[in-house]
Each structure stands twice: as structure tokens, then as C-alpha cells.
Amino acid sequence: MMPKILLVSSDENNLEALAGALVLDPKVSLFWARSAGDALKIAGDEHPQLAVIDSALSGKNPLKLVAELISVDAMINTALVSAMGDKEFHETSEGLGIMARLPERPDDKDAARLLAALGGLVRE
């Protein structure tokens, strides 16, 4: 199974290092969305296994987008780029089932961590 990963950011430069590392894996199929509306459409059409949502998202609170993505596809896993500390992030995002919090400007180490976590969760 080829995991489909959706990257959501109004500024693709923020996720550039992460994307560069993810595309090195020939099994990964990568999609980009610059807005919440694009992300919801891609999620409905492509059913990615993971959506990585950048904190730099114009016009939509990233946590609200997580909830909307889950309503489009309940099986989607999500990761959120956030400058919050672990405790604050946990309290703010509790109940949304977010798989991971990523640091600002995630890199190849974060990509490896995401792929490892996703490995046991990918559905056929």
C-alpha cells in the first residue's frame, strides 16, 4: 500500500524540508493544499492516510481543520505543526486524536518519525 500524505500550508516553504524527506520514500504519494478548502477537497477525493497541517494556515484555525477533515474521512490521521509545548498542545487538542505535534519547520527526522508511526496505521 502506498501511503498518501497531504501537506497543508499557506506557505509551502514551512514544510519544504519535511516534503523533501517524504518524497525520498518511493512508497509515499504526496499531495499539497494551500487552503482549508483545498485540503477538504483532496481529503474527500484522495482519502490520504495522513494530513500534516501547518500552523501557517490562512483563514482557518488548524485545530478546526482537523475536526473538519475527520468529518470528511474518519480514518484520516493528522499531525499538526505547532510552537506550543507538549502540555499546552495536549490540553488544546484533546479529543481530536492528533497523531503527532511537529515543531515549526519540520525536517527529515520528523518525516522519519511520522512514517514510522504511520506504518502500523495505514489502511488498505
pLDDT tens-digit series, residues 19-45: 999 999 999 999 999 999 999 999 999
Look up residue 34 and give its DSSP letter: S
33 and 7 in contact (C-beta within 8 Å)? yes
Asked if the model's pLDDT at residue 122 lies above 60, the reply is: no
pLDDT at 1: 62
CA 88, CA 17: separation in Å to the nearest integer? 25
Look up residue 124 and give its DSSP letter: -
Element (H, E) at 36: helix 36-46
Helices (H), 2-61: 16-22, 36-46
Question: How many helices, marked H, and strands, marked E, lie in the chain?
Answer: 5, 5
